[in-house]
Amino acid sequence: MITALVGFAILIGLCFFGFRVGFATMMVGIAGFALQRGPEAALAMAGQQVMEDAMNYNLSVIPLFILMGVFIYRADISRDLFDAAYAGLGRFRGGLALSTVVACAGFSAVCGSSLATAATMTKVAMPPMRRYNYRDSLATGTIASGGTLGIMIPPSVPLVIYGIVAEQDIGQLFIAGILPGILLVALFMGAVAIVVRRDPTAGPAGEPMDPERKRAALRAVWPVIGLFVVVLGGIYSGIFTPTEASGIGAAGAAIIAFARGHLRRLHEWREALVEAAKTTASLFIVIFGALVFAQFINLSGMPYDLLFIIGDMNLSPWALVVAVAIIAVMMGMVFEAIGILLLLVPVFLPSLYQSGVDMIWFGIVVVVVTELGLITPPIGMNVFVVKSVIPDVHLGQIFRGVTPFIFAILTALILVFFIPGIATWLPALMR
């Protein structure tokens, strides 16, 4: 176990010095394995692990859902989602911020990436909020926090990763994320309402939308809503598997983009496919590196040492999950969402199984905790994404802006923790 802890310490150090997580985990994993089994065995293990993972059929879900998100982004649907939300909420105090939360949820439903959602909605929602003199802290905090919905509302890449690592049904995980996602949207809107109630100048009401523009926006979002219903409805009803759903989603997104006047030239297809390939490659480097590192951790015996320690401490399943959640929050200050799942879940998997924890429910819990890490100082990946798009806003303002949403996520975590049915009710209907 000491060897594994040293490996974790070296990994965190490398990440602080700017090494990419995928390469850092790969290097530490191979080096740790080499110390215990020799250089040749380490290289053979790494090659075999990468080959096995690359041939994993379940991983094909990831590039297809990424491609679906790229097509939707290319279709420029984010502005219509924002307009459609503004049509119903813009007249209220804080209406633009409320509209941003709803638009983030809608974009997340067809994108699956928190960072992409945050970056896209910053470009869409920040200009009108500044035009209506919204306080920068509320505007940026809403966007950064709304972006976290990308890893909860299905299709979610982190849920796919968790399903593969924990050997859980990806379709059930997608369905399990629906109610917690809706809960988070409601709590985020509640956080906005509280902020503008305490300080009405933070988010003034907007002007009524022109009826023709309202009708155009509502017409434009129906295809995306239909695509979301088809993808999740097909999984829920058992008509097709998550992998088939990802292919259908990508094809449907391409049709929507084409119908809206995009993807009609060869260079547009090339740009979209190259973007999806680059994103997939970056993600797979993290996956392969983390899985090699996980093999080193398993060889060190750390998961089973933890099993004995937890047994000696006589921790209840609830206490174990709380302990894992606390560690995940601390890791969220250093690692991105997928890195947390790939590094944390394999370590505690034997203990969780031994304790009889519902792994579908735990998957939702750990994703909610990971959402918290995306906006928690000192790193907060979504905060830095928003900062990169609007560099004139001070980082401290954005972190102040996300504070109410941190409490909203904590509220969601407590509710899911004490009312497991929020995450398990819909999947139970599928079984």
Domain presence at residue 263 = yes
pLDDT score of 374 = 81
Q: Could you give the number of structural domains in the chain?
A: 1
In this prediction the pTM is 0.82
Q: Exposed (0-12), middle (13-18) or buried (19+): which is 284, by Cβ within 10 Å?
A: middle
Q: Which residue has the higher pLDDT, 191 or 245?
A: 191
Within-domain flag for 44:
no
| Per-residue pLDDT tens over the stretch 28-84 | 888 888 887 788 877 888 888 788 777 777 778 888 888 887 888 777 777 778 878
Q: Is 358 within a domain?
A: yes
Per-residue pLDDT at 405 exceeds 90: yes
Going by the DSSP 8-state scheme, the letter that residue 207 receives in this structure is P
Q: Indicate whether 33 belongs to any domain.
A: no
Residue 288 in this model has a pLDDT that exceeds 70? yes
Say if 256 falls within a structural domain. yes
Let me know if residue 385 belongs to a domain: yes
Q: Which domain holds residue 146?
A: 59-430
Q: Which of 119-123, 150-154, 212-216, 323-327 comes out lowest in average pLDDT?
A: 212-216
Q: Tell me, yes or no, whether 403 lies in a domain.
A: yes
**Neighbouring C-beta atoms of residue 9, cutoff 10 Å:** 11
Q: Is 74 helix (H, G, I), strand (E, B) or coil?
A: helix
116 found inside a domain:
yes
**Measured distance CA(419)–CA(415) in Å, rounded:** 6
Distance, in Å, from the CA atom of 359 to the CA atom of 423, rounded to the nearest integer, reads 11
**Tens-digit pLDDT profile for residues 325-342:** 888 877 766 666 777 787
